Amino acid sequence: MIPADDRLILVGRIVGLHGVAGEVKLESYTDPRTRIFSYQPWLLCSAAGDREVSGCRGREQGKGIVASLPDSIDRDRAAALVGTEIKVRRSVLGETKPGEYYWADLEGLEVVTIEGVALGRISHLLSTGANDVMVVRDGERERLLPFVLDDYVKTVDFDAGRVTVDWDPEF
């Protein structure tokens, strides 16, 4: 089944400061990376506690992203946010098109071969440039399987909590 709408999804992290007006540098896990601003409100999670903010704005700046948060009006307040994780509720991500999947929805699904051999569960996914890769763990070993629909990934069944792949279990 598709994860509950209130599940929190990690979409980025505050990694530094920009200027003196309270702007922060972000590491975004969205694609494209500026899409992080489309997913709001944000839940800012840090050792100091969690808080929800809306109205965050930003832009690409060189190789990074710079953001302005509504209540971060000076460098001192912004400095306290460095290291903070940015999470959003699953419901703000919206629906996907057929054949498209959010990585967060795939994590935790069981992976089986077309012959029914269990390979483990999806721990996380990686982007390699050529294609995405599922990291599948079964406790004993870790496998890296290409997430290429039709070639290797035959079905994704959220109701059954399973991804069926055409893969040699010995590999």
pLDDT (tens digit, 9 = 90+) per residue, 24-42? 999 999 989 999 999 999 9
Q: Are residues 83 and 141 in the same domain?
A: no
SS (H, E, C) the chain: CCCCCCCEEEEEEEEEEECCCCEEEEEECCCCHHHHHHCCCEEEEECCEEEEECCCEEEEECCEEEEECCCCCCHHHHHCCCCCEEEEEHHHHCCCCCCCCCHHHHCCCEEEECCCCEEEEEEEEEECCCCEEEEEECCCCEEEEEECECCCEEEEECCCCEEEECCCCCC
Tell me: pLDDT of 165 over 80.
yes
Q: Are residues 47 and 87 in the same domain?
A: yes
Q: Are residues 87 and 115 in the same domain?
A: no
If you compute the radius of gyration of the chain from its CA atoms, what whole number of angstroms results?
A: 19
- The dihedral region occupied by 62, where left means phi > 0, alpha psi between -120 and 50, and beta the remainder, is left
Inside any domain, residue 42: yes
Inside any domain, residue 74: yes
Average pLDDT over residues 132-143: 95
Q: Are residues 108 and 149 in the same domain?
A: yes
Q: Are residues 69 and 44 in the same domain?
A: yes
Question: 125: domain range?
Answer: 103-165
The confidence score (pLDDT) of residue 2 equals 46
Q: Are residues 70 and 113 in the same domain?
A: no
The confidence score (pLDDT) of residue 4 equals 53
In this predicted model, what pLDDT tens digit does every residue of 54-85 receive, in sequence order? 999 999 998 899 999 998 778 998 999 999 99
Cα–Cα distance between 47 and 45 in angstroms, integer? 7
Q: Are residues 84 and 18 in the same domain?
A: yes
Q: Are residues 83 and 31 in the same domain?
A: yes
Number of structural domains the chain divides into: 2
Q: Are residues 121 and 74 in the same domain?
A: no
Contact (CB, 8 A) for 133 and 140: no
